A and B are shown apart, each in its own frame.
Chain A
């Protein structure tokens, strides 16, 4: 059976979710739980690091759609980072770059959140 796991890191006001392995209809609930936990703690500035994600199907892509509006209503965002070309191509094919900001690296995504926070101050 294919493995999938997430881990999270607190980076000040921002939380990073690290994805590892195979994200499909079987493992998507794991990521749903990770988002639900963060939202429960009112953590709405989220960077998702795809660096160790080997595979994603539309069931995995659906998880991002399930939470994005709630997060944006609370002045937050989900920013995506570190995708392989293979994973990016699937996001691109479905038009996700219109709805989500996608960065080369986790640091770039965090920087973007920091810039927005500075402007708000």
Chain B
């Protein structure tokens, strides 16, 4: 148990809402997840889920406006890794996003909702909270034990 005390408790990264910052966000999450001791497959999944959440914020909350702020907070407690991503863009209504339907994307030449589906599939928990006029928050979590099973 002593080892766990040395592991990250909280870390935070703030970046502008530009897609060229996605790799920095992925590296930030990779380093923390590695420190916690997740297997490399699980780390890949966590990174992808965070990338998808941030891509959605850049494209939809900030509508590709590059000067918005994205804050990624990482916490590790009780064997649970929690990633909280905050923005100040347009609030997001997750219930309006249908599950992906590849056949209709094929006809429309576009995709939508894939990122959200990936997040839900890859993480233990995905929660959205919006406080209108203040902030939006998406919380992703992964339990170290569930990931080991």
Contacts and interface: CB of A to CB of B under 8 A. Distances in A.
B58 A25 contact: yes
B90 interface: no
B121 A93 contact: yes
Contacts of A67: 109
B109 A24 contact: no
Given A26-B22, A61-B111, A61-B114, A69 B121 contact: no
B111 A2 contact: no
A25 B23 CA distance: 10
29 contacts: A1-B23, A2-B22, A2-B26, A24-B23, A25-B19, A25-B22, A25-B55, A25-B58, A25-B59, A26-B20, A58-B55, A58-B111, A58-B114, A58-B115, A58-B118, A59-B55, A59-B115, A61-B114, A62-B110, A62-B111, A65-B106, A65-B110, A65-B111, A86-B44, A90-B118, A93-B118, A94-B117, A94-B118, A95-B100
Interface of A: 1-2, 22, 24-26, 55, 57-59, 61-62, 65-70, 86, 90, 93-96, 98-99
Given A57-B55, A93-B118, 15 more contacts: A1-B24, A22-B23, A25-B51, A25-B55, A26-B18, A55-B26, A55-B48, A57-B48, A57-B52, A61-B114, A65-B102, A94-B100, A94-B117, A95-B102, A99-B106
Interface of B: 18-20, 22-24, 26, 41, 44, 48, 51-52, 55, 58-59, 100, 102, 105-107, 109-111, 114-115, 117-118, 121
